[in-house]
């Protein structure tokens, strides 16, 4: 282990080149005109939104975030490409969104009216040369039953009204798949069909959108016909798979989670380990303490279930995962050769050691979760080290 990292209890290594190469691999499957939106919400799925956005800026055309604060963070770091907020924004932030060129998702009439009013207020303060039109993206609900307009006749009329509001520019329209990562593409294709029919209705009414988009990572990799004008890449950028069914493209996980052994001790047979004494040494055992716990995002559900890699061998987590520490039975490896485990040895929680690899997918599934939640859950106090 590099000496300097012993300063940290644990850390997340983030390989920015892996993120770049994952984008390039997905883009190989895209038609030439299709734009790429890098989804960097939730601090770049835990990888660091600003660092990721900077590292991929020459490869993408758009960024997507979940909150206005996430969008403003990009602007504060001189990231100027278009940013789309995918979710709710409080009306008090509309002026700030307009001034920063941050695109809002419009899923009902009141958002558009509020934005238009905010635009007028800005013009009355600064003059019309100073304030650009507010580009918006209309959200259509084709099967998620989350935010969005229903693809109905009534919605066509509402969208016409929105298009006529002063200060509003219809830049994009999008929908989101509920099942793009399914075993079959049937349901996603149904949603795509609904979306396309709605787009034709809008076009017949004179409503045109330069950026029509619907594909997330799963659809961008498996549904050629869903690419439209832009794809929104989240999980695949980070080298993780949307589900076990979507593994067409070999991706490289960008994050590994590492720590080190801070104490090794021998305990006699019959000695309990951890809160609640849920594990008892069946024989004389060697226990290593790792300074990583559920407050770091290492799920408590991994108590007596998880495993780690030390020196190219796999060892089980024993007892309950504590808030800031956990214990590992290093008496005998589950896999790999192993040797004597010593204080200071590097511990791989997710990532490679020798021939062995622990994926975010397998470890999160053991805890009853999934890879998206695992990487987003690596807490703020875990330093990210960039390569
Ligand atoms: C999070 C999100 C995405 C990215 O999804 P991945 O499965 O991570 O690629 C795309 N679109 C919307 C609307 C999202 O909320």
Query: Do 223 and 284 sit in the same domain of this protein?
Result: no
Residue from 259, 297, 293, 300 nearest 379 by CA: 297
> How far, in Å, is the centroid of ligand 1 from the Cα of 216?
5
> How far, in Å, is the centroid of ligand 1 from the Cα of 19?
16
CA angle 224, 64, 52 (to 5 degrees): 100
Q: Kindly tell me the burial class for residue 24, based on how many C-beta atoms sit within 10 Å of its own C-beta (0-12, 13-18, 19 or more).
A: exposed
Q: Measuring from each residue's beta carbon to the nearest atom of ligand 1, which residues come in under 6 Å?
A: 39, 41, 86, 176, 216-218, 232-236, 242
Using the Cα atoms of residue 83, residue 84, residue 87 and residue 91 in order, give the sign of their dihedral. Answer: positive
Query: Do 82 and 210 sit in the same domain of this protein?
Result: yes
Query: Do 198 and 81 sit in the same domain of this protein?
Result: yes
Contact 245, 25 (CB under 8 A): no
Segment 87-95 mean pLDDT? 98
Q: How many residues does the chain have?
A: 387
Query: Do 191 and 290 sit in the same domain of this protein?
Result: no
17 part of a folded domain = no
23 part of a folded domain = no
Domain span at residue 123 reads: 31-238
Cα 298 to Cα 292: distance, rounded to the nearest angstrom: 7
Query: Do 49 and 176 sit in the same domain of this protein?
Result: yes
170 part of a folded domain = yes
pLDDT tens figures, 365-375? 999 999 999 99
pLDDT tens figures, 248-262? 889 999 999 999 999
Among 67, 223, 232, residue to substitute to test ligand 1 (most atoms within 8 Å of Cβ): 232
> How far, in Å, is the centroid of ligand 1 from the Cα of 39?
7
> How far, in Å, is the centroid of ligand 1 from the Cα of 174?
12
Active-site option among 88, 160, 266, 275: 275
Q: Which atom of ligand 1 is nearest to the CA of 181?
A: 7
Q: Which atom of ligand 1 is nearest to the CA of 220?
A: 9
15 part of a folded domain = no
Query: Do 199 and 340 sit in the same domain of this protein?
Result: no
- Given this model, what pLDDT does residue 4 score? 64
For residue 211, give the 3-state DSSP assignment.
strand
In percent, the amount of the chain with pLDDT more than 70 equals: 99
Query: Do 54 and 156 sit in the same domain of this protein?
Result: yes
Using the Cα atoms of residue 16, residue 19, residue 20 and residue 21 in order, give the sign of their dihedral. Answer: positive
260 part of a folded domain = yes
1 falls in which pLDDT band (50, 70, 90)? low
Choose one of 172, 204, 238: the last residue of a domain. 238
CA 121 to chain centre: 35
Contact 195, 140 (CB under 8 A): yes
Query: Do 259 and 214 sit in the same domain of this protein?
Result: no
Active-site option among 41, 107, 139, 241: 41
DSSP string for residues in 306-341: -EEEETTEEEEEES---SS-EEEE-SS-SBS-----
The contacts of residue 194 (CB under 8 Å, 6+ apart) are 142, 143, 151
For this structure, is 275 an active site residue? Answer: yes
Question: How many structural domains are present in the chain?
Answer: 2
Query: Do 218 and 261 sit in the same domain of this protein?
Result: no
CA-nearest residue for atom 11, ligand 1, is: 216
**HSE (side-chain half, CA atoms, 13 Å) at 144:** 16
CA-nearest residue for atom 10, ligand 1, is: 216
Token output for 53: 């956005």
Residue 133, φ and ψ in degrees, nearest 5: -60, 150
pTM: 0.96
310 part of a folded domain = yes
Contact 180, 216 (CB under 8 A): yes
Residue corresponding to tokens 């939104």: 49
Among 107, 195, 216, 241, residue to substitute to test ligand 1 (most atoms within 8 Å of Cβ): 216
The CATH number for 197's domain is 3.20.20.10
Inform me whether the pLDDT recorded for 57 exceeds 90.
yes
Residue 195 bridge partners (DSSP): none
> How far, in Å, is the centroid of ligand 1 from the Cα of 215?
8
Query: Do 201 and 74 sit in the same domain of this protein?
Result: yes
Q: How far is CA 68 from CA 72, 101, 296, in A?
A: 6, 11, 26
16 part of a folded domain = no
In percent, the amount of the chain with pLDDT more than 90 equals: 92
Choose one of 208, 238, 268: the last residue of a domain. 238
Cα 67 to Cα 151: distance, rounded to the nearest angstrom: 25
Query: Do 42 and 83 sit in the same domain of this protein?
Result: yes
For this structure, is 41 an active site residue? Answer: yes
For residue 218, give the 3-state DSSP assignment.
helix
Choose one of 196, 211, 238: the last residue of a domain. 238
14 part of a folded domain = no
pLDDT tens figures, 300-354? 999 999 999 999 999 999 999 999 999 999 999 999 998 999 999 999 999 999 8
Contact 384, 44 (CB under 8 A): no
Query: Do 260 and 215 sit in the same domain of this protein?
Result: no
The CATH number for 298's domain is 2.40.37.10
């Amino acid at each position: 282990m590099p000496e300097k990292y012993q300063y940290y209890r644990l850390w997340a290594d983030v390989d920015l080149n892996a993120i770049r190469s994952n984008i390039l691999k997905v883009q190989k499957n895209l038609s030439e005109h299709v734009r790429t939106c890098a989804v960097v919400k939730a601090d770049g799925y835990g990888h660091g939104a600003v660092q990721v956005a900077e590292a991929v800026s020459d490869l993408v055309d758009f960024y997507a975030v979940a909150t206005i604060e996430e969008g403003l963070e990009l602007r504060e770091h001189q990231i100027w490409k278009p940013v789309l907020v995918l979710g709710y924004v409080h009306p008090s932030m509309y002026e700030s969104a307009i001034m920063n060129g941050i695109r809002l998702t419009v899923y009902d009439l009141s958002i558009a009216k509020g934005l238009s009013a905010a635009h007028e207020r800005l013009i009355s303060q600064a003059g019309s040369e100073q304030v650009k039109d507010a580009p918006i993206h209309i959200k259509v609900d084709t099967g998620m039953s989350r935010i969005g307009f229903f693809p109905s006749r009534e919605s066509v009329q509402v969208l016409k009204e929105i298009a006529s509001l002063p200060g509003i520019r219809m830049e994009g329209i999008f929908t989101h798949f509920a099942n793009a990562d399914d075993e079959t593409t049937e349901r996603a294709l149904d949603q795509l069909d609904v979306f396309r029919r709605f787009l034709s209705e809008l076009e017949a009414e004179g409503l045109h959108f330069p950026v029509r988009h619907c594909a997330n990572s799963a659809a961008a990799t498996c549904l050629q016909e869903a690419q439209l004008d832009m794809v929104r890449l989240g999980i695949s950028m980070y080298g993780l798979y949307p589900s076990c069914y979507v593994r067409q493209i070999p991706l490289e996980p960008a994050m590994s989670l590492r720590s080190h052994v801070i104490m090794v001790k021998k305990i006699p047979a019959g000695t309990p380990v951890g809160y609640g004494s849920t594990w008892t040494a069946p024989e004389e055992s060697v226990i290593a303490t790792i300074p990583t716990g559920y407050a770091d995002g290492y799920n408590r559900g991994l108590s007596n279930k998880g495993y780690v890699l030390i020196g190219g061998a796999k060892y089980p987590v024993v007892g309950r995962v504590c808030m800031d520490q956990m214990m590992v039975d290093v008496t005998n490896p589950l896999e790999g050769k192993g040797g004597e485990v010593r204080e200071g040895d590097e511990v791989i929680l997710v990532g490679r050691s020798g021939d062995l690899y622990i994926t975010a997918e397998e470890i999160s599934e053991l805890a009853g979760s999934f890879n998206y939640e695992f990487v987003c859950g690596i807490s703020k106090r875990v330093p990210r080290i960039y390569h």
